[in-house]
Amino acid sequence: MSFSTNFKLEILNKNQFETREEKLAFVSAVFMQNGSIHISKHAVNIEVENELQELVYRLATELKSLYDFEISISSKNVPYLKRNLFVLKLPAAATKQIAEDTGMIIYSGDMAIGFSDMTVNEYIDEKLIKAYLLGITLSSASVAVPIQSQNDRNIFEGGYSLDMRFNNENIAYSVMNYFAQFDIFLKKVNRNDIFSLYIRGSEMLSDFMAFFGGSNAVLELNDIIAYRSVRNDINRIKNCELANLDKSIEAGQKQYLAIKLIEEKIGLESLSEKLREIAIIRLENPDFTLEQIAELAGGDISKSGINHRFRKIMEIAKNLQE
């Protein structure tokens, strides 16, 4: 399962409601985000669709504890989504009862025609607000964290984000304002009449998940952050080592060419014994580092000493070119 699904299942199980009002707040949120009203010749039915089976069954449980009417749950395959949707259906008799209790169903005469946003700013009690926000989050939030690339396990793709989409701007504003009361600040954007609230960054995402008691999700998030940090440090060190190795090889090649020039022009015998010794070692080992050449030279000379001798050889070669 995805990180987002695991997070939702965790907070769904951890948050239980004590009062009728909390249950109604939760139900209202899910209905507003995932509900629809179907009008036929014989009846008006309410349907709720969501890909998270556990959410649909939890909604059914809360409704059964509130009302005494029949509830049916089915699933349907949605090819373009490449997944199943779980559908909860309520009978026509349920519509008026829910409308009376929540005020969220709009009527035209005796006919229910849609969902209202009139109740979204009415919650004052923190428990009711949290129940409402839980319903909103479970029915519409998508959480993403960096994942390892399939092509290179050392590379992480994506970032830390949370997105929620709304068809109603008033609901989006109310959700944003409710979260702000708990110091969780979401940003809002409008694209083609779809209103989105979002979070970017691991710190605020962690606060968001902790608000609902998602301790396991927070721990997993911290593990991802730590692992990614370690991998970045390792990659940085590797890149630095590779850069240093490239410089060492380039310097070795220049030293090799300088020594070959001296050999052709005046012969290596013209060099002092100390310079001739490392010149021969370099000719035999063009890719060796200064440390490796120092070891072959007997280990009695330091890396800086070897580098000093090569600078003298480079000066001699430069003078021969002039």
Tens digits of per-residue pLDDT, 116-167? 655 555 778 899 999 999 999 999 999 999 876 666 665 666 789 999 999 8
Residue 250: its pLDDT value, please? Answer: 83
Task: Dump pLDDT digits (tens) for 25-35.
Answer: 999 899 888 88
Buried-state track 291-320, b at ≥16 Cβ within 10 A, e below 16: ebbbebbeeebeeeebeebbeebbebbeee
Please tell me whether residues 250 and 164 are part of one structural domain: no
What is the Cα Rg of the chain in Å? 35
In a domain, 221, yes or no: no
* Maximal C-alpha separation, the chain: 111
In a domain, 231, yes or no: no
Residue 155: its pLDDT value, please? Answer: 63
Please tell me whether residues 56 and 148 are part of one structural domain: yes
Query: How far apart are the C-alpha atoms of 137 and 30, rounded to whole Å?
Result: 9
Residue 306: its pLDDT value, please? Answer: 87
Query: How far apart are the C-alpha atoms of 81 and 85, rounded to whole Å?
Result: 9
Give the Cα-Cα-Cα angle 255, 257, 260 (nearest 5 degrees): 110
Residue 107: its pLDDT value, please? Answer: 60
Please tell me whether residues 183 and 248 are part of one structural domain: no
Nearest 10 degrees: Cα torsion 64, 70, 76, 80: -70
Residue 11: its pLDDT value, please? Answer: 96
Please tell me whether residues 121 and 250 are part of one structural domain: no
Residue 246: its pLDDT value, please? Answer: 74
Nearest 10 degrees: Cα torsion 166, 170, 171, 176: 100
In a domain, 198, yes or no: yes
Residue 143: its pLDDT value, please? Answer: 94
The larger pLDDT score, comparing residue 240 to residue 87, is at: 87
Confidence of residue 187 (pLDDT cuts 50, 70, 90): very high
Please tell me whether residues 198 and 309 are part of one structural domain: no
Please tell me whether residues 197 and 265 are part of one structural domain: no
In a domain, 61, yes or no: yes
Do residues 171 and 143 lie in contact, with contact meaning Cβ atoms separated by under 8 Å? no
Q: Which residues pair with 173 in a beta bridge?
A: none
In a domain, 22, yes or no: yes
Residue 106: its pLDDT value, please? Answer: 64
Tokens of 264: 């052709």
Residue 159: its pLDDT value, please? Answer: 87
In a domain, 223, yes or no: no
Please tell me whether residues 73 and 183 are part of one structural domain: yes
- CATH number for the domain that contains residue 74: 3.10.28.10
Please tell me whether residues 185 and 48 are part of one structural domain: yes
pTM (predicted TM-score)? 0.71
Residue 78: its pLDDT value, please? Answer: 77
Residue 291: its pLDDT value, please? Answer: 84
Do residues 311 and 252 lie in contact, with contact meaning Cβ atoms separated by under 8 Å? no
Residue 8: its pLDDT value, please? Answer: 96
The larger pLDDT score, comparing residue 220 to residue 248, is at: 220
Residue 183: its pLDDT value, please? Answer: 95
* Mean pLDDT score of the chain: 84
Please tell me whether residues 299 and 175 are part of one structural domain: no
Residue 39: its pLDDT value, please? Answer: 67
Confidence of residue 114 (pLDDT cuts 50, 70, 90): low
Residue 205: its pLDDT value, please? Answer: 95
The larger pLDDT score, comparing residue 71 to residue 93, is at: 71
Task: Dump pLDDT digits (tens) for 38-78.
Answer: 766 666 677 889 999 999 999 999 999 988 888 889 988 87
Quick check: 96 pLDDT over 60? Answer: yes
Please tell me whether residues 25 and 158 are part of one structural domain: yes
What single DSSP character describes residue 6? H
Quick check: 12 pLDDT over 90? Answer: yes
Size (the chain), residues:
322
Please tell me whether residues 84 and 147 are part of one structural domain: yes
Domain encompassing residue 94: 3-213
A 10 A CB-CB count for 196 gives 16
In a domain, 91, yes or no: yes
In a domain, 229, yes or no: no
Our count of domains for the chain comes to 2
Task: Dump pLDDT digits (tens) for 226-250.
Answer: 887 777 777 777 778 777 777 878 8
Residue 322: its pLDDT value, please? Answer: 67
Please tell me whether residues 172 and 294 are part of one structural domain: no
Do residues 207 and 222 lie in contact, with contact meaning Cβ atoms separated by under 8 Å? no
Residue 295: its pLDDT value, please? Answer: 85
Residue that the structure tokens 């009062």 belong to: 19
Residue 191: its pLDDT value, please? Answer: 85
